[in-house]
Chains A and B, each alone.
Chain A
């Protein structure tokens, strides 16, 4: 009869199903089926994870050094310069005096790029900004060093791969750190606004009625505020910084999620399985979490990559205008501003442009794949 389903597993033990429900497994399959999005995801993840370890890739101090038989970790520990016979509070490992001293009494391992985002290159061949080293001939690129081409400092790790900016800081190092700050800021903003927005939308949609009405009116007023002006005003009063900016932008960015989540909850709260749960006596919050939230998460997750790229673009534009991160911090927006001010040094603008466009394109491709994965009408194959 139709009622007897065949099952072969022994009694009691749940059969192995993997950690994903069948629906999610199908979604993962659809995500992978979108080759462009899948590859974008991995490329982005590799870039992001690499940038998390930026200190090991671009830094003005060695990763590990051996000095007079002692193993040192200059990346992690600030050793006073007197340890090496100098007099500064923090050691300038790039100075030839310290380098020679350590080389004579041991060895050191440098990161591939020997500049941090704030390090000023004191050996530039002419006034900043200087071009990438591969645009100059050998003689010219070492012109800034005391011994010219024979100088031991004129090596790949000390040359500026993407040139320097107008304060003689290495562009490659600033890009790596700037990428990290942008993505971390975007992620933090996206996750925080998702949490707030989903909660607000869920409450509105589930309870409906007056709650919904009042909240909706509030959101209409709130979202019609001139966000950019308010940002500029607040940024002028409060000291600029990562968390202040995050807080200010969070004030307005959570609104984007409310509409979608509210609509999902309004639609789903009359589903029969929700009524069935209510008839079982299940409480409101449990129903919201267990039965309704998964429905709303589909819409939210589809949104996330686009919100993420939007947040990154907003931060960049604030930086460009000079209202973003404090001066000196590595930032893509600041580099675009430099590119605008130094048209004779196109590597500044071009580098920032390519970094931004590649990062945002990758995110959009990922977003497309996520949208495909959650689209119930889309069949693959």
Chain B
């Protein structure tokens, strides 16, 4: 892996810029106290990139937020520890002094660029506010400085963007504006809390590239919080691995990755989704076939609501899928891949022929579809949202049985529910519990069980792994592959995560703006992509490299 990053020589004598000593964070709620961070220590040297890696709930964001005392005090508190910055303990600094540090010497960028920008203010006003606050720059001087910053973060045609509101920018551009705001006062330390998680892979690669360049230009240090080991390896100098509020291992990126000491680090490193999809058998029957599927949403204008144009969410896609086969649909957000899946499952109306086990279901009404729905199942992206919080797991799984096999007695239904839970690797006795008692991975298993209990032929999987932690992702991928082998299922696997698609799909469709850019056997697409867009996607996903091509949007 070629690295353009000039690593500092690792001089142990340099004075650390920021030093965290024995930091603990506790949260009090309803009379109980939970320790989110447990005596964590690390240093950040000038010009160094330190990565905090861990799964959700490991306390990495809480650690970062406590550096600028951004936690919800007083329900949060620090039982122990100090954070030394420029000779002062930030934890004990008065609010006045802390405001001088925040946004000036230490700045932060957050995960969700939409909610971190004020939707009511223009870009110029938001950046200008920071300049005014800390440096007292206003008027023409501020404007030229803002233009310089926007140029620096690679916003094309910054003059036109000054008066833009956040909703007029794409996710990547918003994150660039956030970075411009963070850089406005030439901070010594930039804390980046999962800055690319909400972005598409190609945009993620661009943002990483930008951060790397800016770090070199400004000579600042960075604390990089992420769950993505690929980013850490590519980007950081030193890494601290966190789990359950503790740093279990820290050291140089190279040594930690090559020679991990702690079992958790090894577990994390080994948890990339892996394995090969089962071979497709051309003799098997075709389960799902789509021909020239179009989903156009009308744009209406004028007094009479005349249709003036269409948003072409899916525009002429054809596909066919055999039993025991997985069709991967990849693309960036907004490319129409989920809409395509919903159209095939007849959950939204579409045009074009859709054939499911021999029936042309394209014009079936909801009632006509009902007898087929047991063999056509859907698993949604968000396991927190897709299970009704008011029903027990058993009721959730049995709901479909009540519709499709109403003749079953309560005992027979219970039997089937237990079978489905066993199939997905959950203890059948958990069926009396409620969804909130389960972790994200377990919930996704429940959602899969809900689909499996009806013994489907075709399952549409809409990003089933994107809301899950890395180690759990790998388990769910393994589970899906096992179930496919056992029951000869046909999967439509929709994902933006190419690594997961690679582990599951026999055939891949690359979508962009509702159209198919490239399609073919998974092996060929991954080994030898033909189109520029596919190449850029692969480079961004597997090597975190931004390819400068017109095929990719900013």
List chain A positions with a Cβ less than 8 A from chain B.
1-7, 9, 11, 14-15, 17, 21-23, 271-273, 275-283, 290-291, 294, 379-381
Q: In the bound complex, do residue A294 and residue B438 qualify as a contact, i.e. CB atoms below 8 Å apart?
A: no
Other-chain contact of B347, A6, A275, A291 (Cβ < 8 Å): A275
- B417-428 CB mask vs A (1 if < 8 Å, else 0) is 000000001111
Chain B residues near A379 (CB, 8 Å)? 29-30
For chain B, the count of residues having a C-beta within 8 Å of the partner chain is 46
Q: In the bound complex, do residue A21 and residue B434 qualify as a contact, i.e. CB atoms below 8 Å apart?
A: yes
Chain A residues near B390 (CB, 8 Å)? 21, 23, 294
Q: In the bound complex, do residue B386 and residue A276 qualify as a contact, i.e. CB atoms below 8 Å apart?
A: yes
Q: In the bound complex, do residue B29 and residue A381 qualify as a contact, i.e. CB atoms below 8 Å apart?
A: yes
* A379 CB, nearest partner CB in chain B, Å: 6
Q: How far is it, in angstroms, between the C-alpha of A4 and the C-alpha of B430 when the chains are bound?
A: 9
Q: In the bound complex, do residue A7 and residue B429 qualify as a contact, i.e. CB atoms below 8 Å apart?
A: yes
Other-chain contact of A278, B347, B374, B377, B385 (Cβ < 8 Å): B347
Q: How far is it, in angstroms, between the C-alpha of A17 and the C-alpha of B432 when the chains are bound?
A: 9
* B467 CB, nearest partner CB in chain A, Å: 11
Chain A minimum-CB-distance residue to B471? A2
Q: In the bound complex, do residue A15 and residue B432 qualify as a contact, i.e. CB atoms below 8 Å apart?
A: yes
Q: Which of B117-125, B134-142, B441-449, B498-506 lies on the face that meets chain A?
A: B441-449
Other-chain contact of A291, B388, B425, B472 (Cβ < 8 Å): B388
Chain A residues near B391 (CB, 8 Å)? 290
Selected A-B contacts with CB under 8 Å, 7 pairs = A3-B475, A7-B427, A23-B389, A23-B390, A276-B380, A276-B447, A291-B388
Q: How far is it, in angstroms, between the C-alpha of A381 and the C-alpha of B29 when the chains are bound?
A: 7
Contacts A3-B425, A5-B426, A7-B430 hold; do A273 and B388 have CB atoms under 8 A apart?
yes
Other-chain contact of B399, A6, A275, A282 (Cβ < 8 Å): A282
CB of B45 within 8 Å of the partner chain: no
Q: In the bound complex, do residue B399 and residue A277 qualify as a contact, i.e. CB atoms below 8 Å apart?
A: yes
Q: How far is it, in angstroms, between the C-alpha of A280 and the C-alpha of B433 when the chains are bound?
A: 21
CB of B345 within 8 Å of the partner chain: yes
The 9 residue pairs across chains A and B that have the minimum distance between CB atoms: A281-B373, A7-B429, A272-B385, A272-B386, A280-B400, A381-B30, A279-B378, A281-B370, A273-B388
Chain A residues near B87 (CB, 8 Å)? none
* B552 CB, nearest partner CB in chain A, Å: 30
Q: In the bound complex, do residue A279 and residue B399 qualify as a contact, i.e. CB atoms below 8 Å apart?
A: no
Chain B minimum-CB-distance residue to A280? B400
Chain A minimum-CB-distance residue to B440? A2
CB of B404 within 8 Å of the partner chain: yes
Chain A residues near B347 (CB, 8 Å)? 275, 278-279
Q: How far is it, in angstroms, between the C-alpha of A272 and the C-alpha of B386 when the chains are bound?
A: 4
Q: How far is it, in angstroms, between the C-alpha of A271 and the C-alpha of B385 when the chains are bound?
A: 7
Number of residue pairs spanning A and B whose beta carbons lie under 8 angstroms apart: 96
CB of B108 within 8 Å of the partner chain: no
CB of B270 within 8 Å of the partner chain: no
Chain B residues near A17 (CB, 8 Å)? 432
Chain A residues near B439 (CB, 8 Å)? 2
Chain A minimum-CB-distance residue to B376? A279
Within 8 A of A (CB), among B422-478: 425-430, 432-434, 436-439, 441-442, 445, 447, 450, 454, 472, 475
- B151-178 CB mask vs A (1 if < 8 Å, else 0) is 0000000000000000000000000000
CB of B319 within 8 Å of the partner chain: no
Other-chain contact of B373, A1, A15, A21, A280 (Cβ < 8 Å): A280
Other-chain contact of B475, A1, A275, A278 (Cβ < 8 Å): A1
Q: How far is it, in angstroms, between the C-alpha of A100 and the C-alpha of B390 when the chains are bound?
A: 66
Other-chain contact of B403, A15, A281, A380 (Cβ < 8 Å): A281
* B424 CB, nearest partner CB in chain A, Å: 8
Chain B residues near A380 (CB, 8 Å)? 30
Chain A residues near B428 (CB, 8 Å)? 11
Chain A residues near B425 (CB, 8 Å)? 3
Chain B residues near A283 (CB, 8 Å)? 370, 403
* A2 CB, nearest partner CB in chain B, Å: 5
Q: In the bound complex, do residue B374 and residue A281 qualify as a contact, i.e. CB atoms below 8 Å apart?
A: yes
- B354-387 CB mask vs A (1 if < 8 Å, else 0) is 0000000000000001100110011011100111
Q: In the bound complex, do residue B441 and residue A3 qualify as a contact, i.e. CB atoms below 8 Å apart?
A: yes
CB of B31 within 8 Å of the partner chain: yes
Q: In the bound complex, do residue A11 and residue B429 qualify as a contact, i.e. CB atoms below 8 Å apart?
A: yes
- B385-418 CB mask vs A (1 if < 8 Å, else 0) is 1111111000000011001100000000000000
- B323-350 CB mask vs A (1 if < 8 Å, else 0) is 0000000000000000000000101000
* A213 CB, nearest partner CB in chain B, Å: 12
Chain A residues near B472 (CB, 8 Å)? 2
Q: In the bound complex, do residue A22 and residue B434 qualify as a contact, i.e. CB atoms below 8 Å apart?
A: yes
Within 8 A of A (CB), among B92-129: none
Chain A minimum-CB-distance residue to B381? A272
Q: In the bound complex, do residue B430 and residue A280 qualify as a contact, i.e. CB atoms below 8 Å apart?
A: no
Contacts A14-B432, A23-B389, A380-B30 hold; do A3 and B399 have CB atoms under 8 A apart?
no
Q: How far is it, in angstroms, between the C-alpha of A133 and the C-alpha of B392 when the chains are bound?
A: 62
* A10 CB, nearest partner CB in chain B, Å: 9
Chain B residues near A11 (CB, 8 Å)? 428-429
* A287 CB, nearest partner CB in chain B, Å: 10
* B260 CB, nearest partner CB in chain A, Å: 20
Q: How far is it, in angstroms, between the C-alpha of A84 and the C-alpha of B176 when the chains are bound?
A: 99
